[in-house]
Structure 1
Amino acid sequence: MPDKRVNVLIYSGPGASLSSVRHATWSLRRLLGPHYSIQTVSSDQILKEPWPTTCALLVLPGGADMGYCRMLNGHGNRRIKQYVQMGGRYLGLCAGGYYGSGRCEFEIGKKPMEVAGDRELAFFPGVCRGLAFEGFVYQSEAGARAVDLKVQKEAFQGTSTEHCKSYYNGGGAFVDAESFRERGVEILATFHDELSIDAGKAKAAVVYCKVGEGAAVLTGPHPEFAGINLNRNEPSNPKYGDLVDTLIANDKQRTDFMKGCLIKLGLEVSQEAQAVPSLSRLHLSCTQPSQVAELQQRWREAGIITSDGGEDLIKGEQDTFKVENVDFLSLNSLKGAVNDVLPEPVKDAAASVANAITSATKSDSTSKDPQADSSPDRILDYDALTKRLCLHPSSLPEPKDTPYFNHHAFYSNLQHYNAKQPGIVGDYGRVLLYGEVVTSTQSILDKNPTWLLHLPIGTTATATTQVSGRGRGTNVWVSPPGSLMFSTVLKHSLSLSASAPVIFVQYLAALAIVAGIQNYDRNYEKLPVKLKWPNDIYALDPSKDPKESSYVKIGGILVNSSYSGGDYTLIVGIGLNVANAAPTTSLTQLAAKLKLPPLTLEKLLASILSQFEALYARFCVTGFDQRLEKQYYASWLHSDQVVTLEAEGGAKARIKGITTDWGLLIAEELRDDGKTPTGRKWELQSDSNSFDFLRGLVRRKV
C-alpha cells in the first residue's frame, strides 16, 4: 500500500544558498501547485527520515556543492541514488548540477577557488566543468548575467520554445554530453555564447539523465530565477538592471522551458502558473460575540495590545498584527441612512464627503500595506509583513467578508454537536481565528508564544489556504483549496502526567478526526477512514479495487508543546483533505462513492472539535483506558501487521498495539516462518515520523 508521491523537497541544509532555496521554492510552487507540496528539507531529514516513499522530486539548489559533500557523502548519497533508481526524480540546479555529475571541476588552476573531485551520485556520468562564464564571486552578484540558452526542441513534446534567457552565476557546462546518449543522457539546452572553458562541441547547459526507473535533470544556469524577484539596484553589479530587464522581458520562454523540464521528469504541471497569494485579514470571533470585547480588554490590560502611532498592535515574537475593530457603521450604511432623511442638495454634499473619506481610506490603506506596493506575484517575506487582525465584538463575520467560510454555519453546528456531548464545557472552537490566506495556522500560534499564553483554552485557528503549511518531519501538509486546516490550543496539567500522559493527546486528535467524520451525519460512519500510528489519517483509495485495501494519506497531525507554570501548552494542528482530489483523494470522493452529500468544512470542523473536547475530557479523568484503547484499535491500520525491524538485523515482528503508559508501539518478534512468536517483544518509539508502515518497515531510533 505505497503512498502517492506528493512532496517536492528542496534541500536547504549546509551548502545550499538561501537565495537559491527561495527562488526554487517560489518557481516550483507556481508551476507545480496545487498538485504537490513544495517544502524544504534538511540534511538530517535526508539521512534519517523515510522521505523517499512520498517524494515526487528532490531538488538540490544553488550554493556550494562541497557543503553537500560534507553532509551527504556516503549514507545520504546512497539514499538519494537508490531513491532515483527506484523511480524517483532529481533536479540539480547549478551547484546541484555539479553535485549530480560524475565529476566536478571548478576553476581548475585558480587557487583558492579550485574544486575538483569525483562525485558519488553521478547521474550525469561525465564532468560538469565551470566556470562557464567568468566573474563569479561567492555570496555576490558581481558575476551574474543573463545567458541565452538554445532549447533542444526534439527533447520535448509539444514545445515551441527555441531560445530562453536564464539567470547565470557560477554554473558549469556538461562536458561532451552528446557522447553519453547511449547511457541515457539527453541535452535539453545548450549555451549560445562562447564559454570560458572547454565543454565539448555541444556546450550543454541542461541535461536529462535516465537513471534506472527514475530520472534527473541537471542545470548549469538558474532557470528557476525570475527577473521579478531580483533587485535591479544591486550595488555589486552595474549591469544588474539590464539583467533584470532581460529576464522580465523573456519570462514566458523561461517559464515554458522550466515546465518542459518538469514534464520531462514526469511531473504534473499547472496549466496556468499559480500566483503567489497575498495574506488576507484574520477574523477573530466568539460563540458569544460580546466575549470578543472582553478578550480585547484582557489583552490590553496584559500589555499584549499596545498603541503605536495611533494604531493598536500585537507585537509577537515572529509576527506583528494590526488590530482593527469592525464594530462600526459602514460608510455605505451611513450613506444610505443619510439619503433617507436629507434633501437632495445635502445628499449630494454628504455623498461627496463620504466618497472623499472612502478615497482617503483606500489611499491610506494602500500606502501602509507593504504588499500593496510590491508585485502581487513575486517572492514575499510573509514573516516581515504586518498582519491585519479584525475583531468582531457585536456580530459574527458575514459571508460577504469571509466568502469561503461561513461562521454562522460553523457556530450553529458546533452548538448542535456539543449538545450531544454531555459534560463538556464547549471551549473548543468557542474562540475562532479565521483567515482566507495565512502563513500557517500552526505557526501563527506557535511562533508567537507570548500571545499564545493569553489565548483561551480551545482557541482554534483555521484557514482556507496556507502558504507554508507545517507537518511532522518531511511529511508536510499539502494545502490546496478544499483542505480543512486548523490548530487548537490546549492546556494539559503536569499533575496529570502519571494518569494521563501528554503523549496521548496526538492519539486523541486522530480518534477525534475519525469520529468527527463518522459522526458527521447519518451514514457517514461508512466512510473507510483509518488512522496510521502515530499521527496520520488514511482513506481507502476509491479509484482502486476495494479488495486491494489500498489506503492513501488524506491528513496529518502535528502537536507543538511548551511548558510553563505547571502546564503544558499544546497546539494541536490538523490538516485534512476534504474536497480536493489532488494529490491523493478526498472525503468528498469517498462520500460520493456512497451517494452521500459532500462534507462542508464548517460542519466537519465543528464535528471534530466537539469529538476532540469530549475525548480529551474523558482522558483527563480515566487516562487511556480500555474504552479509548478499544476505540483506537478499531480505527487503526496496523492490527497484526507484520513489519521488518531494520535496527534489529531485519527481524520480522507483528504489531500488537501500543503501551498505555507512554504510547509506545508493541511489536512481538516472529520466527523465520513469519508466523510463530519467539516470545521476545519490543516497545518502539516514533522518531520524527520515521515509521514507514505501509512499506512493512519500521526504523528504531539510533
Structure 2
Amino acid sequence: MRFPIRLSPPATSAAAAAAAVLAAFAIRRYLHPRSSMATSAHRRITTIFVAGKSTEDKQLLAAAVDGVLELGGEGGDSVEEVTVSLDSGAAGGAGFDAAAYMGALRASRFGRWMLWSPRMASTHDLVTHNFAKLPVGVVCVADVQLKGRGRSKNVWESPPGCLMFSFTSQMSDAQKLPLMQYVVCLAMTEAIKELCRAKGLPELDVKIKWPNDLYLERLKIGGILCTSSYQPKVYNICTGIGLNVDNENPTTCLNAALKELKVNSPMLTREDILASFFNKFEVLFEIFSNEGFQALEEQYYNSWLHSGQKVTVQDGHGTQRADSVVTIQGLTPSGYLYAIGEDGKSYELHPDGNSSSAIRQL
C-alpha cells in the first residue's frame, strides 16, 4: 500500500506552472465505472476548490489531486462527477472564505492545504478514500453535506451555517488511537474560548460530553468522528467535525448563544473557528504525541461534563442482571469511563455498551 507523504516541491518553476495549469483547467472525471450509461437525472456534480497557505502549498495540493478524486460509493446507477479548480471560491460570498481562513491560520502542520466544496456528500469520505493521494494534514471543508457521518453510522445533519470539515493525521502508537478523539474535543473547546477572548466576546462555555460530543447550555452543538486504518508502522487517521456556528436548528448554535449573552454582539465566523482550531490542535497534538494524554487530562476534565456525575449501570447477565448507581471519576488508561459504585466496586464503562456493565443514562 502507498504511504501518504508530504509532496516535494516541483523541481522547476515550469513543473509548478504545469501542475497549476492542469488543475486550473477544472478536469472532469467520471468516478463511477458505468458513468457513460447513466442519465443526467442520476448525475451529481461536485465542485472542489483547492487552496493553500502559500502559493507553493496550493500548487502541491493541486498536483496531488490532479483532477482525480474518489468521493466514495453512492450505490445504484448514480454518477459522481468531480470538478477541481484552483479558484478558491468567491471571497465575501455565502461560501467558505479560504483567504480569510488562511490569513488567520498559524499552524504549520495542519490545515495548510484545503479542499473546499459548496456541496458534497461527505468530507470524511473524501479524505478517507483519498488519504494516500493527499498531503498529511490536509483539510476538506463543505458548506453543505448530503451524507455527513456520525458515530455508529449515524448521519450528521448538515444545514448551511454549520462548520463541517475533515482532516488527516498520522500516529504510530496504537494505544493512543482511542484517545485521539479526546484531544480533538479539547482542542475545539479551547479554540472557541480563546477566539472569544481574542475578539472581546462573551466566553462560550462549550463542554465535552463523553466520548465525542460538544454541548452548550445542555444542548448538542457539535460532534467528532475519528476513524483509522493501518499501514506498516503507521496509522492513518481521518477526523471529521461538525459544529453549529450560525444554524440554530436542529438544536442551537454558537452565534445564537452570543446574541443571548450580549445584544448586537459580533458573530463568530466558520473561517476564524477553523483557523483557531488548527492553531490549538497543533499544540495539543504535539504534547499528546510526545507525553501522552496524561499531560492533557487536567485540561480535559476542566472541559467535560461528567466529573462526579452519577449514572445507572446494569451489572451482570440475564436474570442475574442488577442496577447499580456509580459515580464517574475520570477516564481509564484505555480511554473508557472510570466509575466507582456505592459499594466501592470499580467499573469501566463503554459507550453504547451491550456488555456486563452498560450505561443506562449519561
- TM tier, smaller: 0.7 to 0.9
Distance 1:683 1:465 in 2: 38
* SS of match in other structure, 2:243: strand
| Aligned residue in 2 for 1:593 | 260
Q: Pick from 677, 680, 698 the counterpart of residue 345 of structure 2.
A: 680
| Structure 1 vs Structure 2 CA RMSD | 2.9
* SS of match in other structure, 2:339: strand
Matched, 1:609 2:278: yes
Distance 1:488 1:439 in 2: 16
Deviations along 1:373-398, one digit per CA (max 9) or x if unpaired, are xxxxxx99696221112135xxx544
The 3 A distance-change label for structure 1 pair 279 and 524 is farther
Q: Report deviation, 1:515.
A: 0.7
Distance 1:477 1:689 in 2: 23
Q: Report deviation, 1:318.
A: 3.3
Distance 2:308 2:45 in 1: 46
Deviations along 1:172-223, one digit per CA (max 9) or x if unpaired, are xxxxxxxxxxxxxxxxxxxxxxxxxxxxxxxxxxxxxxxxxxxxxxxxxxxx
The 3 A distance-change label for structure 1 pair 296 and 485 is closer
The 3 A distance-change label for structure 1 pair 524 and 667 is farther
| Aligned residue in 2 for 1:654 | 327
* SS of match in other structure, 2:308: coil
Letter in 2 for 1:285: A
Q: Pick from 461, 482, 506 the counterpart of residue 161 of structure 2.
A: 482
The 3 A distance-change label for structure 1 pair 692 and 292 is farther
Distance 1:442 1:688 in 2: 25
The question of whether the paired residues in 2 share the 8 Å contact of 1:642 and 1:652 is answered with yes
How many residue pairs align between the two structures?
A: 312
The 3 A distance-change label for structure 1 pair 630 and 280 is same
Distance 1:444 1:662 in 2: 29
The 3 A distance-change label for structure 1 pair 664 and 583 is same
The question of whether the paired residues in 1 share the 8 Å contact of 2:89 and 2:95 is answered with no
| Aligned residue in 1 for 2:338 | 666
Q: Report deviation, 1:631.
A: 0.7
Distance 2:153 2:162 in 1: 19
Distance 1:512 1:518 in 2: 10
Letter in 2 for 1:578: V
| Aligned residue in 2 for 1:629 | 297
Identity among equivalent pairs (%): 34
Q: Pick from 171, 181, 185 the counterpart of residue 510 of structure 1.
A: 185
Distance 1:514 1:533 in 2: 13
The 3 A distance-change label for structure 1 pair 475 and 397 is closer
The question of whether the paired residues in 2 share the 8 Å contact of 1:517 and 1:524 is answered with no
* SS of match in other structure, 1:603: helix
Distance 1:437 1:652 in 2: 46
Q: Which has the higher contact order (CA 8 A, sep 6+)?
A: 2
The 3 A distance-change label for structure 1 pair 442 and 382 is farther
Distance 2:229 2:171 in 1: 10
The question of whether the paired residues in 1 share the 8 Å contact of 2:196 and 2:203 is answered with no
The aligned runs of 1:431-442 (5 Å cut-off) are: 431-442=113-124
Distance 1:472 1:277 in 2: 28
Structure with bigger gyration radius: 1
Q: Pick from 66, 70, 84 the counterpart of residue 316 of structure 1.
A: 70
The aligned runs of 1:402-481 (5 Å cut-off) are: 403-415=94-106, 418=107, 426-446=108-128, 448=129, 451-473=130-152, 475-481=154-160
The aligned runs of 1:171-570 (5 Å cut-off) are: 279-297=45-63, 299=64, 305=66, 313-314=67-68, 316=70, 318=72, 384-392=79-87, 396-399=88-91, 403-415=94-106, 418=107, 426-446=108-128, 448=129, 451-473=130-152, 475-493=154-172, 496-497=173-174, 501-522=176-197, 523-524=200-201, 526-540=203-217, 551-570=218-237
Distance 1:429 1:284 in 2: 12
The question of whether the paired residues in 2 share the 8 Å contact of 1:470 and 1:477 is answered with yes
Letter in 2 for 1:411: M
**Normalised TM-score (structure 1):** 0.42
Q: Which runs of 5+ in 2 are unaligned?
A: 1-41, 317-321
The 3 A distance-change label for structure 1 pair 474 and 318 is closer
Letter in 1 for 2:241: I
The 3 A distance-change label for structure 1 pair 318 and 584 is closer
Distance 1:411 1:685 in 2: 39
Distance 2:146 2:255 in 1: 23
Distance 1:572 1:687 in 2: 20
The 3 A distance-change label for structure 1 pair 582 and 316 is closer
| Aligned residue in 1 for 2:25 | none
The 3 A distance-change label for structure 1 pair 605 and 296 is closer
Distance 2:157 2:134 in 1: 27
**Normalised TM-score (structure 2):** 0.78
Deviations along 1:434-480, one digit per CA (max 9) or x if unpaired, are 0000101011122x2xx311311210001100011110126431101
The question of whether the paired residues in 2 share the 8 Å contact of 1:484 and 1:575 is answered with yes
The 3 A distance-change label for structure 1 pair 590 and 315 is closer
Distance 2:203 2:71 in 1: 45
